[in-house]
């Protein structure tokens, strides 16, 4: 172990990153930037070919930095898992979605497990970053590593360190976001921290992988529950004839005991709509019902339908029905100024409106096309003449490059789910959570 530790500290190692998406690629680039030999492994050959040509596809990665790393040979990508034979530390950042029944889908982790069993070797540090239920690291990864006869903590070293990526965040990115890390043994933790010390400004060690796994779930469960409260408050304020945005802004002036969360058309992104269900599922296996989690999920999941009802009611007031109306959604990404549509509530709003007979288009400056079931739809070209052709414009994502003054002035009817038009008093605006 001491020899491996010295090599890690001197950067005389090769780091592997499995999964080259929103989490894995920025992490791989950080390792490459400090001069650590880095190999990215992904099952998508198109991604691998793009990366090896120096072409970037992740918004949070600098194009020039990636190209320089590829040119220098510091970073390369492959679909060949046998590369693990030459890797000293590997970070696993594969997707962990939910099944249709809201149960954890750990298919990708199990696939990585099967490859680890083939190529695990002595003095390999394995770090799982994929969000999952408490116990995954110890119950799934450890047996796969030890099936070869190697012992975790002595021959190989296993940890869990949850990804904390916030796509598009201009302040907190991979390097300056504190990194929680929990090892199966003290030796595991020591080596894992040495690996991450090269690329992270702050490390936060915890006593076990289970503590690290739960840390990530608590973070996003906290957000899910509070967003659920804000969403329910929006519905209640609408019924009471009060503006929820005014109420939230007023409450946010309290300098203690309150944290501001805002309502919207639903939850999006890979983490917040999904992570709490991992904890809820785990607790069901222990005969315990996570009531807060399930109630918040119920409220948040119902918001796209509520938005569609709001659109329907707004159209009714101008003697139109949803069926046959031309409706434009502005913004399909799950939050402003990014190109990520994973779990975006705008997708549900689109599908629900279309199911009710509306003729739906969308525009998003970051998303050129989206796959709906078996077909693709493309973002329309947005101009002020275009807006006037629609019976209703629904603001589903408040991208900063939208000129909301011009949008308000040139639209017949607007349903604003993000309070993006708060500066305008026009009669053609209907806001979520307002009278």
Q: How high is the pLDDT of residue 360?
A: 97
Is residue 101 pLDDT above 80, yes or no?
A: no
DSSP strands (E only) in 266-363: 326-330, 359-363
297 vs 300: CA distance, rounded Å: 5
User: Does residue 162 lie in a domain region?
Assistant: yes
Count of other CB atoms within 10 angstroms of residue 117: 14
Statement to judge: residues 162 and 26 lie in one domain: yes
Statement to judge: residues 193 and 53 lie in one domain: yes
297 vs 74: CA distance, rounded Å: 43
What's the mean pLDDT when you consider all of the chain? Answer: 95
Statement to judge: residues 28 and 129 lie in one domain: yes
User: Does residue 142 lie in a domain region?
Assistant: yes
User: What CATH number does the domain containing 402 carry?
Assistant: 3.40.50.720
pLDDT tens-digit series, residues 358-411: 999 999 999 999 988 778 999 999 988 889 999 999 999 999 999 999 999 999
User: Does residue 381 lie in a domain region?
Assistant: yes
Task: Return the closest-CA partner of residue 382 out of 339, 338, 332, 417.
Answer: 332
Task: Give catalytic residue positions.
Answer: 271
- DSSP-assigned letter for residue 334: S
User: Does residue 218 lie in a domain region?
Assistant: no
Statement to judge: residues 332 and 256 lie in one domain: yes
Residue 271: which pLDDT band, with cuts at 50, 70 and 90?
A: confident
Q: Which residues are 179's β-sheet partners?
A: 203
Q: How high is the pLDDT of residue 174?
A: 95
Domain boundary (207, 238, 256) is at 207
User: Does residue 328 lie in a domain region?
Assistant: yes
Both tokens of 410, joined, read: 């040139």
Statement to judge: residues 16 and 121 lie in one domain: yes
Is residue 352 pLDDT above 80, yes or no?
A: yes
Statement to judge: residues 261 and 149 lie in one domain: no
Domain boundary (172, 207, 242) is at 207
Name the pairing type of β-strands 14-18 and 37-41: parallel
User: Does residue 214 lie in a domain region?
Assistant: no
Statement to judge: residues 169 and 267 lie in one domain: no
Buried b (16+ CB within 10 A) or exposed e, 24-33: bbbbbbbbbb
Statement to judge: residues 196 and 254 lie in one domain: no
pLDDT tens-digit series, residues 365-379: 999 999 887 789 999
Q: How high is the pLDDT of residue 99?
A: 76
431 vs 417: CA distance, rounded Å: 6
Domain of 41, in residue numbers: 2-207
Statement to judge: residues 117 and 41 lie in one domain: yes
96 vs 108: CA distance, rounded Å: 7
pLDDT tens-digit series, residues 285-325: 999 999 999 999 999 999 999 999 999 999 999 999 999 99
User: Does residue 29 lie in a domain region?
Assistant: yes
Residue with tokens 């938005």: 307
Work out how many domains the chain is built from and give that number. 2
Statement to judge: residues 203 and 228 lie in one domain: no
Domain boundary (207, 235, 268) is at 207
Percentage of the chain surpassing pLDDT 90? 89
Please say whether the beta carbons of 129 and 23 come within 8 A: yes
> Which range (91-105, 186-200, 364-378) has the least confidence?
91-105
User: Does residue 72 lie in a domain region?
Assistant: yes
Statement to judge: residues 89 and 162 lie in one domain: yes
CB contact set of 64 (below 8 Å; sequence gap of 6+): none
Statement to judge: residues 132 and 92 lie in one domain: yes
């Amino acid at each position: 172990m001491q020899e491996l530790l010295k090599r890690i500290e001197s950067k005389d190692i090769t780091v592997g990153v499995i999964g080259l998406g929103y989490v894995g690629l920025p992490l791989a680039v950080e390792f490459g930037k400090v001069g650590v030999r880095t190999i990215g492994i992904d099952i998508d050959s198109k991604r691998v070919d793009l990366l090896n040509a120096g072409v970037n596809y992740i918004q949070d990665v600098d194009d020039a930095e990636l190209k320089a790393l590829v040119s220098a040979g510091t970073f390369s990508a492959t679909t060949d898992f046998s590369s693990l034979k030459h890797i000293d530390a590997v970070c696993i950042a594969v997707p962990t979605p939910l099944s249709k029944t809201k149960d954890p889908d750990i298919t990708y982790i199990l696939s990585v497990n099967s490859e680890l069993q083939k190529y695990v070797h002595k003095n390999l540090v394995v770090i799982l970053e994929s969000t999952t239920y408490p116990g995954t690291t110890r119950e799934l990864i450890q047996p796969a590593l030890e099936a070869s006869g190697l012992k975790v903590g002595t021959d190989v070293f296993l940890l869990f360190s949850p990804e904390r990526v916030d796509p598009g965040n201009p302040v907190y990115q991979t390097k300056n976001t504190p990194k929680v890390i929990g090892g199966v043994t003290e030796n595991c933790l020591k080596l894992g921290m040495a690996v991450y010390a090269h690329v992270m400004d702050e490390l936060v060690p915890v006593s076990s992988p289970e503590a690290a796994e739960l840390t990530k779930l608590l973070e996003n469960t906290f957000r899910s529950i509070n967003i659920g409260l804000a969403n329910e408050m929006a519905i209640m304020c609408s019924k009471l004839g009060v503006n929820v945005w005014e109420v939230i802004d007023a409450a946010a002036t309290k300098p203690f005991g309150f944290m501001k969360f805002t309502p919207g058309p639903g939850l999006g992104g890979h983490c917040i709509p999904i992570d709490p269900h991992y904890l809820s599922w785990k607790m069901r296996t222990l005969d315990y019902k996570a009531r807060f989690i399930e109630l918040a999920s119920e409220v948040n999941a119902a918001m796209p339908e509520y938005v569609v009802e709001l659109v329907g009611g707004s159209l009714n007031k101008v003697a139109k029905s949803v069926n046959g109306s031309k409706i434009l959604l502005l913004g399909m990404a799950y939050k402003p100024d990014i190109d990520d549509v994973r779990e975006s509530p705008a997708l549900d709003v689109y599908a629900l409106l279309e199911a009710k007979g509306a003729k739906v288009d969308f525009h998003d400056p970051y998303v050129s096309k989206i796959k709906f079931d078996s077909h693709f739809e493309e973002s329309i070209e947005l101009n002020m003449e275009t807006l006037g052709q629609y019976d209703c414009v629904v603001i589903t994502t408040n991208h900063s490059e939208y000129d909301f003054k011009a949008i308000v002035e040139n639209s017949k009817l607007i349903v604003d789910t993000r309070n993006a038009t708060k500066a305008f008093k026009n009669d053609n605006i209907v806001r979520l959570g307002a009278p």
